[in-house]
Amino acid sequence: MSYRVVVLPGAEAEIANTVAWIAEDSPLAAARWLEGIRQAVDSLSEMPSRCPVAGDEFGTEVVVRQLLYGRRRNRYRILFTVKGDTVQVLRVRHGARAPIRR
């Protein structure tokens, strides 16, 4: 089954902010990062349930999963939910940031 992937505005803003931050030092690295994160997000169209449940607190009524992108200190967490045949990307956060708490 193929899922439709929707990136919510907050996640799009986080991606744009990260690209701008990386581009301050290296526009080429920023372009590579953007291409890579887009590929990772697009991969959620196939088997999103392969990803583990995230430890963040979004409420008890919603299951939030995470896909990790990057390596070591440059790891990012793509937080998403699956509703029917749609994957909604909620947030894209640096891996060093603390989990979201209510």
Confidence of residue 57 (pLDDT cuts 50, 70, 90): low
Confidence of residue 102 (pLDDT cuts 50, 70, 90): low
Say if CB 29 and CB 22 are below 8 A apart. Answer: yes
User: What pTM did the predictor assign?
Assistant: 0.86
Question: What domains can you pick out in the chain, each with its CATH number?
Answer: 4-94 (3.30.2310.20)
Tens of pLDDT, residues 62-71: 889 999 998 8
Q: How far apart are CA 98 and CA 74, in angstroms?
A: 15
- Tokens for 16? 């744009």
Tens of pLDDT, residues 42-54: 999 999 999 998 8
Q: How far apart are CA 78 and CA 90, in angstroms?
A: 8
Task: For 1-102, list the strands marked E by DSSP.
Answer: 4-7, 65-69, 76-83, 86-94
